[in-house]
């Protein structure tokens, strides 16, 4: 059986998988750039890798918005998270992940807009420079973006650990729904 474009009750489709794994790779990139910055003191001026954090974060935000819209478009078609406490916890966990993936880049964009220095990821101007900063936007971004970003990292570790638990302990094919074809065969 071929992998469908849209989600099915047995497995996530091509679009969901492409969005999931693309976001995963870009988020890994984001954490790598921040580890270089925070852990090794590499500045955006010294390294194109660290300097890519803002533009790549903007791309992640756009992909997350698309991913949320795609999830709503596939509501009722997607694999079920199960019943009882485990199913409720899985739905809540995914909801929190989506929420944090929206808030973290929104806080950064608010900070960049509020700073007045303008922002042009990948050469496309999102907003121009201004003379007057907007203090509350900068304060919000400063208070939320970095700290919630690291919380997001912890949530991702938990997400990966739960996939491992599903595979090792419950052997319920959770990983195959997002990464393999076994779920399509019903195996």
* CA–CA separation, 67 and 65 (whole Å): 5
Q: Which two tokens stand for residue 46?
A: 């010294």
Its sign, for the CA torsion 4, 8, 12, 15, is: positive
DSSP 182: G
Residue-wise pLDDT for 109-131, tens only, equals 999 999 999 999 999 999 999 99
pTM of the model: 0.92
pLDDT at 185: 72
* CA–CA separation, 11 and 3 (whole Å): 8
pLDDT at 124: 93
Q: Which two tokens stand for residue 83?
A: 């019943």
Q: From first to last of its 187 residues, what are the pLDDT tens digits of the chain?
A: 789 999 999 999 999 999 999 999 999 999 999 999 999 999 988 899 999 999 999 999 999 999 999 999 999 999 998 889 989 999 999 999 999 999 999 999 999 999 999 999 999 999 999 999 999 999 999 999 999 999 999 999 999 999 999 999 999 889 999 998 776 676 5
* CA–CA separation, 136 and 144 (whole Å): 12
pLDDT at 62: 97
* CA–CA separation, 100 and 151 (whole Å): 9
Name the phi and psi angles at 119, rounded to 5. -155, 125
């Amino acid at each position: 059986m071929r992998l469908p474009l849209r989600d099915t009750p047995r497995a996530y489709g091509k679009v969901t998988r492409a969005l999931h794994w693309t976001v995963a790779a870009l988020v890994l990139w984001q954490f790598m750039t921040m580890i270089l910055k925070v852990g090794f003191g590499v500045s955006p001026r010294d390294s194109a890798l660290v300097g890519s954090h803002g533009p790549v974060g903007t791309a992640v935000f756009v992909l997350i918005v698309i991913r949320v819209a795609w999830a709503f478009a596939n509501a009722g078609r997607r694999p079920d998270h199960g019943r009882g406490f485990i199913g409720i916890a899985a739905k809540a966990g995914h909801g929190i992940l989506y929420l944090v993936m929206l808030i973290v880049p929104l806080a950064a964009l608010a900070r960049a807009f509020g700073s007045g220095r303008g922002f042009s990821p990948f050469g496309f101007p999102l907003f121009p420079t201004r003379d007057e900063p907007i203090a509350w936007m900068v304060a919000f971004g400063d208070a939320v973006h970095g700290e919630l970003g690291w919380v997001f990292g912890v949530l991702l570790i938990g997400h990966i650990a739960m996939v491992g638990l599903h595979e090792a302990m419950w052997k319920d094919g959770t990983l195959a729904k997002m990464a393999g074809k076994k779920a399509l065969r019903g195996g």
